[in-house]
Amino acid sequence: MEQSLLALWQAVPTGNIKQSKLADQLELSSKQTTRLLRKWADEGWLTFTSGRGRGNASHIQWHINVEEHYEKQMIQLIEEKSIETASKYLLFDWSPEVKHRLLHNFRSNFGYIQNNLTKNDKLLIPRKYPFLTLHPLYASDIHSANLVANVYSRLVSVDENGIITPELAHSWDVTSTHLRLYLRKEVYFHDNSYLTATDVVNCLNRLRKDSSYSDLWQPIESISACGSYMVEISFSNGCSYCLQMLGMINASIYKETPHQTIGSGSFCITENSASKTTLQAFGHYFQHRPLVDVVEFIQVSGDFDVAYRSSCENAEETFQVESDSGFGVVILNAFKDSPIGQKEVRDYVHYAIAKHRHKIAHYHPRAIANHYSCLIGQEQRPITLPCPKRPHLEQPLIIKAANYTDGATRWLKEALESEGIWVEIQWMSFQDKLIDTKSDQKADLFVHGEVFEMNQNFSFFYFLANGHSPLATIMKSQPLFHHYLAQYAATPFEEWTALNLQMEQDLITSSIMLPLYYEKRQIPFSIDVMNITISHFGYVDFSKLWVRPVSINS
């Protein structure tokens, strides 16, 4: 099946057409277009008669209904071949009714055919976009980070309540100036080599020197190996959150070879291509081996519903699991040399947002208007804003936003313009947003969506400090920013809830960061998938899942 042939069938009926328009339709040169037309004519799809003389129209005569023919091929592929073989063709330019039929057929067979080929317990997950990275250091988007969480291990684990439990480190000693970690012995990497203290030191030193994390790790003065299974971290001026940092996804421990990055987690990567990413349970995992043998992410089109399914024949029936999907904020560039740097302008924007915030669900259906705080369960007292005088602005305010905040951004534009503040939107791709960390930001407002990794107290601090947050990006040059970080390093972690609330209140009162919404998502699972536990970034911990076997007598 050829995407260009189907696209031509959809766009050009039998009749006269200039060859230049055919080339434009196929987005090819005239020579390439001629070559393809001759090929398709030889295969019997069409007859093409070139126009004689300059400016004369050519003629195309179709002999085969391309979409009808391709639909039959697709159904055969879905029913007889692997799903990943068929999935790439769903991206073709099908008509709406054919696309609907193919998606229904694809969903009905998703995972079932593979079950005839293997007796493994398998979890199948539709993937709308390839993973941006498989490396822990660069996994700043939640999809890549969720994969990393299952492939790599960390020294410790931090749960949603802030409780720290051992992982690669079986125990530790901590003082006000040092942390000494004792590593498990005979922990296997996925290449069956052993983990050593040197591997840990190399990973952590690389992390703390990375520009995206250097502010967070600033209190750490040295990391060194004290033998094969002992690591010492020094911070003479104190670092109350050192252990919590070691439980983060980007603090995963890995080993690099010239060809790949190797982890020691519950799953290893056996395939990563444009059509499929496959995770295989690691038999030498130092904790309990996963009960699911294989997790496969299959590439699908953007309109395919994402459901976690087993490879059993009855896996089409699903149930919903609710998960937190983060929060949205508007960040005002208070330090830009423009009207937004004036407190009265920011306060007016703040007033307009507060006035219209209750309407945001009309633009972003999963959003729940947030009038109080980004910290769930720790609601701030709402700030009462009298209607301020509308400032006179000679140019529009610039909003910078990524496509995944499309609904919230459109809401913000309408809310501000209804209050007499004209704006322009600078759209960015998600990939561009991840690298947009220059301190000299030109935008006035940022619409930002954030998903907490796990523990709320530490994650909020990380949101303030990490290099991927626009708030941290615009504040890095400000004494206030360094004052914030110093307070966290000196405050015992048990007291961070009060500190977070105070920091957030300062940012809201200053009209620098304004809460917009909470977001929930519903994840469908086939009914035979058991023991679903939500882990990092509101995603599923694959190592805990198992598939209920189908009874032979049922």
Choose the final residue of a domain: 64, 80, 114. 64
Contact between residue 289 and residue 178 where contact means Cβ atoms under 8 Å apart: no
Task: For residues 363 and 238, state if they share a domain.
Answer: no
Query: If you average pLDDT over every residue of the chain, what do you get?
Result: 86
Task: For residues 252 and 338, state if they share a domain.
Answer: no
In whole angstroms, what is the distance from residue 41 CA to residue 283 CA?
Answer: 54
Q: What is the pLDDT of residues 346-398, one digit of tens each?
A: 999 999 999 999 999 999 888 899 998 888 887 667 777 778 899 999 999 99
CATH number, domain of 161, equals 3.90.76.10
Task: For residues 32 and 171, state if they share a domain.
Answer: no
Task: For residues 231 and 353, state if they share a domain.
Answer: no
Whether 95 maps to a domain, the answer reads no
End-to-end CA distance of the chain: 41
Choose the final residue of a domain: 40, 64, 88. 64
pLDDT on residue 273: 86
Which of 295, 325, 174, 145 lies closest to 242 in space, CA to CA? Answer: 174
CATH number, domain of 28, equals 1.10.10.10
In whole angstroms, what is the distance from residue 436 CA to residue 340 CA?
Answer: 20
Task: For residues 53 and 200, state if they share a domain.
Answer: no
The mean pLDDT of 499-507, rounded to a whole number, is: 91
Task: For residues 466 and 363, state if they share a domain.
Answer: yes
pLDDT on residue 82: 62
Whether 400 maps to a domain, the answer reads yes
Whether 543 maps to a domain, the answer reads no
Whether 20 maps to a domain, the answer reads yes
Give φ, ψ of 403 to 5 degrees. -65, -25
Task: For residues 335 and 234, state if they share a domain.
Answer: no
Please say if the pLDDT value at position 548 is more than 70. yes
523 forms bridges with which residues in the sheet? 321
Task: For residues 359 and 472, state if they share a domain.
Answer: yes
Q: Where are the alpha helices (DSSP H) in 426-513?
A: 430-434, 456-465, 470-475, 479-490, 496-509
Both structure tokens of 210: 């990375």
Whether 329 maps to a domain, the answer reads yes
What sign does the dihedral 345-346-350-352 (CA atoms) show? positive
pLDDT on residue 554: 46
Whether 169 maps to a domain, the answer reads yes
Total domain count, the chain: 3
Please say if the pLDDT value at position 115 is more than 50. no
Task: For residues 35 and 160, state if they share a domain.
Answer: no
Please say if the pLDDT value at position 329 is more than 90. yes
Phi-psi region of 227 (alpha: psi -120 to 50; beta: other; left: phi over 0): left
Q: What is the pLDDT of residues 452-499, one digit of tens each?
A: 887 889 999 988 887 678 888 888 777 877 888 888 989 999 999 999
pLDDT on residue 467: 63
Choose the final residue of a domain: 213, 242, 259. 259
Whether 395 maps to a domain, the answer reads yes
pLDDT on residue 235: 96
Task: For residues 253 and 334, state if they share a domain.
Answer: no
In whole angstroms, what is the distance from residue 369 CA to residue 51 CA?
Answer: 61
Task: For residues 339 and 239, state if they share a domain.
Answer: no
Q: What is the pLDDT of residues 386-431, one digit of tens each?
A: 788 999 999 999 999 988 889 999 999 999 999 999 999 999 887 7
CATH number, domain of 491, equals 3.10.105.10
Whether 207 maps to a domain, the answer reads yes
Range of the domain at 403: 325-520
Give residue 500's pLDDT band: very low, low, confident or very high (50, 70, 90): very high
The mean pLDDT of 103-126, rounded to a whole number, is: 64
